[in-house]
Amino acid sequence: MPARIGILGISGRMGTLLKEEVAAAGATLAGGTARRGEEWPNDPAALGRVSDVLIDFTIADAAAAHAEAAAATGTPLVLGTTGLSAAQEAALRTVAGRIPVVYAANFAPGVNLLFALAERMAAALPPETYDAEIVETHHRQKVDAPSGTAVALGRAVAAGRGTTLEEAGTESGRDGHTGPRKTGTIGFAALRAGQVVGEHTLLFASGSEHIALTHRSFDRRVYATGAVRAALWVIGQPPGLYDMKHVLGMA
């Protein structure tokens, strides 16, 4: 029997692509939720009851409630919403003690390979010698900055250096007389223009060399394809908080 996949936010831009990718994967669309329109009611719990897994690409403020609704029905969850606060992420970790959750800043396979490379490079390039800068560009409608993918890149760099992003410190939004850069911090720059799907560059820079890794997304479909792949993988997994490294067999 094909897996039944429910889509939270089915009427949105990502929701439309997810519907198509569910069909392409040979799965069954169990239904969806939407804030407007009669075709898709806004009832996550009801959707969870008729789904084998839920996919959520809505908004950060809805993430905790959607996760709790999934847990109430024992339905695995794939969450691709970015911009979650520390409290919202904490709520998600609590829910992951009851159901399996795949939570990723980016579902593109190439980006997740970039995370792995970033961690390995950061481990090899001392922060006392190599500054780390992350530059990301997205479409003008994106509401969070830096992007979730950029933050995940920063966390990968920090992990490679044996610390956390919070402990390492960040530098972003430089303006005016900011003084010299602090050693070991991780820099972020966010650009918003036009309809850029997503571009991320990680730069390691020393006094004698620069090394840059860049990933560009040209079609949002790559995120939908990856999310459906994650949805099919998470069915039957034990409760826990997973990411795309697990889905891709890299963990």
What pLDDT was estimated at residue 198?
94
Q: Are the CB atoms for 7 and 15 separated by under 8 Å?
A: yes
Residue type, 74: G
Over the chain (251 residues), the average pLDDT of each successive run of 10 is: 95 93 97 80 94 96 96 97 91 97 94 96 98 97 92 96 96 88 96 96 98 96 97 98 95 75
What pLDDT was estimated at residue 248?
95
Q: Where are the beta strands (DSSP E) in 69-168?
A: 77-79, 100-103, 131-138
What pLDDT was estimated at residue 249?
93
User: Active site residue: 19, 66, 138, 200, which one?
Assistant: 138
Question: Token digits for 105?
Answer: 């800043």
Q: Is 109-217 a CATH 3.30.360.10 domain?
A: yes
- Residue intervals of the chain classified under CATH 3.40.50.720 are 4-107+220-247
What pLDDT was estimated at residue 178?
87
What pLDDT was estimated at residue 39?
76
User: Active site residue: 19, 66, 139, 142, which one?
Assistant: 142
What pLDDT was estimated at residue 37?
62
What pLDDT was estimated at residue 38?
61
Q: Is 19 a known active-site residue?
A: no
What pLDDT was estimated at residue 66?
97
What pLDDT was estimated at residue 76?
98
Cα distance from N-terminal residue to C-terminal residue, the chain? 29
Query: What pTM did the predictor assign?
Result: 0.85
In this structure, the chain runs to a length of 251
Q: Is 138 a known active-site residue?
A: yes
Superfamily of 4-107+220-247 according to CATH: NAD(P)-binding Rossmann-like Domain (3.40.50.720)
CA atoms within 13 A on the CB side of 223: 25
Burial class of residue 39, CB neighbours in 10 A (0-12, 13-18, 19+): exposed
- Residue intervals of the chain classified under CATH 3.30.360.10 are 109-217
CA atoms within 13 A on the CB side of 19: 13
